[in-house]
Amino acid sequence: MEVLKDYKLHLIAFLVVIICELIGKQFIWIIAVFPMLYAMIFGGIISLPKLKILTNKNMQNASLVMMVTLILLVAKLGLAVGPKIDMILKDAKLALIFQELGHFAGTILLGLPLAMLLGMKREAVGATYSVAREPNIAIVADKYGLDSPEGRGVMAMYICGTLYGAIWMSILASLIAQLNILHPYALAMGAGVGSGSMMAASLAPISALYPELSENINAYATTANLMSGMVGIYIYTLFSLPFASFMYDTLARLRRNK
Amino acid sequence: MKILETIFVLILVAIIMAAGNSMGYKIDIISSLEALAVLVVISIVGFLLSKLPGLKKFPVILWVSVVAAVASSPIFPYHKELVAITDQVSLLAVCTPVLAYAGLAIGKDLALFKNISWRIIPVSLAVFSGTFIFAALIAQVTLHWEGVI
């Protein structure tokens, strides 16, 4: 019961949550920022090792508690699916299937060429084959081992995702939604990236722009996210990782021939 | 964490979420607690399911999503009441504690972050943006085909 009894941690978290909720939603330029983002930033500042407020043990507990809070978040999101599932499966099954291609290929198509332009080696394969959440680390560990370049790549990305994945997704979704080119349902499906906190962070600004559609937006995003979660482990193993490796070899050959 | 401890931690964070919901979104504390109680029950059912042999292959959050989706669909007799109760908690209020704890855990990763090359920063932004943008573009095209939008 060590995690439960970390009173200091829970008291700090409680205060952070209350303060952030009292500040409420604000705008920075055209980017909507929500209490969840200040909560992450305040939490991050409090946890700075220099300030010596939290011990390493407190922080490890925080990360365990975060996993548990994520369960509640997923439960809340899942409740948006039931009332709409018939509609989505009837009207949008092709979109649901094809948008997964975008999720799985998108990381590699945008990330891998950039990684190689910046001079990264095989690390690029591990870093760009997925959004580097826990299951993705396990897949790379299984195939290459975590001491390999690919393993270092996926671990580095995992840390980046933990540090600023949610913040970045929220800013990006806010900007793209403001452009008003893509329909909010399409944006919602885009938000279902297979990570609960990143999805929630990108959904908030989309729902805020289209409050009257927010139930459907949550349903589309969560169904897409559920789909990513179910097929993810197979696609990552059978397609994404081999494809990233193949792309790396092809681009590396081009780089040498130049 | 053991099963029992996880359940207690669930209840604790649910109380924090109810407090945040009541403070930030002007919903009375009793309705907030009721909504969170339902979420806790769904979470516990999904969590226990994920511990069963044979179901362990998929992570807890997947099972919890499935339980929540089934409980809110017409298959489940009390789905209307259940959705009405849980509508009292804002999705945003549920997110705030998640990211507060995520933030409080950041300090332990900073040292690791300093050791990795700066190159990973632009690459990571491209990776996160890529998955969102490509999926949204494909969804836009296919939803249009299917006549949804």
- Facing B64 at nearest CB: one of A69, A78, A105: A78
Give the tens place of pLDDT for each residue, B78-102.
999 999 999 999 999 999 999 999 9
Give DSSP secondary structure letters for A63-74.
Answer: HHHHHHHHHHHH
Give the tens place of pLDDT for each residue, A145-163.
999 999 999 999 999 999 9
Give DSSP secondary structure letters for A114-128.
Answer: HHHHTT--THHHHHH
Q: In a mutagenesis test of the B interface, which of A21, A56, A61 is the best target, namely the one with the most B β-carbons within 10 Å?
A: A21
For tokens 């990570």, what's the residue? A195
The predicted complex's ipTM stands at: 0.93
Which residues in chain A touch residue B5, judged by CB atoms under 8 angstroms apart?
Answer: 1, 3-4
Please name the residues in contact with A43: beta carbons below 8 A apart, sequence gap of 6 or more: A13, A16, A62, B99, B100, B101, B102, B103, B104, B105, B106
Residues B54 and B124 in one domain: no
* Chain A residue nearest residue B16, CA to CA: A14
Provide the number of CB pairs (under 8 Å) joining chain A to chain B. 431
Residues B98 and B134 in one domain: no
As averages over each run of 10 residues, the pLDDT of chain A (258 residues) reads 93 98 91 92 95 95 94 93 90 93 95 95 96 91 93 94 94 95 97 89 94 95 89 90 96 87
Q: In a mutagenesis test of the A interface, which of B34, B101, B113, B146 is the best target, namely the one with the most A β-carbons within 10 Å?
A: B101
Entry pTM = 0.91
CA B38 to chain centre: 14
Residue A138 sits at the chain B interface (C-beta within 8 Å): no
> What would you measure as the largest C-alpha separation in chain A, in angstroms?
61
* Chain A residue nearest residue B47, CA to CA: A71
Report CB contact under 8 Å: B61, A229: yes
User: In chain B, how many H helices and how many E strands?
Assistant: 7, 0
Residues B36 and B93 in one domain: yes
pLDDT for the residue numbered B149:
85
pLDDT for the residue numbered A4:
93
Here the tokens at position B53 are: 């042999």
pLDDT for the residue numbered A110:
96
Which residues in chain B touch residue A60, judged by CB atoms under 8 angstroms apart?
Answer: 105, 108
Number of domains within chain B: 2
Residue B69 has pLDDT above 80, yes or no: yes
Q: In a mutagenesis test of the B interface, which of A3, A59, A71 is the best target, namely the one with the most B β-carbons within 10 Å?
A: A71
Residues B62 and B130 in one domain: no
Q: Which of residues 9-38 of B touch A (CB under 8 A)?
A: 9-10, 12-14, 16-17, 19-21, 23-25, 36
Residue B70 sits at the chain A interface (C-beta within 8 Å): yes
Please name the residues in contact with B47: beta carbons below 8 A apart, sequence gap of 6 or more: A71, B3, B6, B7, B10, B60, B63, B64
Residue A11 sits at the chain B interface (C-beta within 8 Å): no
Domain housing B144: 116-149
Residues B56 and B105 in one domain: yes
Which residues in chain A touch residue B9, judged by CB atoms under 8 angstroms apart?
Answer: 3-4, 64-65, 68
Residues B105 and B122 in one domain: no
pLDDT for the residue numbered B38:
97
Give the tens place of pLDDT for each residue, B7-65.
999 999 999 999 999 999 999 999 999 999 999 999 999 999 999 988 877 888 889 99
Residues B127 and B83 in one domain: no
Residues B130 and B69 in one domain: no
pLDDT for the residue numbered B88:
96
Is beta strand A31-33 parallel, antiparallel or unpaired with respect to A26-28?
Answer: antiparallel
Residues B104 and B122 in one domain: no
Residues B142 and B98 in one domain: no
Residues B91 and B75 in one domain: yes
pLDDT for the residue numbered A43:
96
Q: Confirm if A227 and A100 have CB atoms less than 8 A apart.
A: yes
Domain ranges of chain A: 1-78, 84-257
Residues B72 and B124 in one domain: no
Residue A137 sits at the chain B interface (C-beta within 8 Å): no
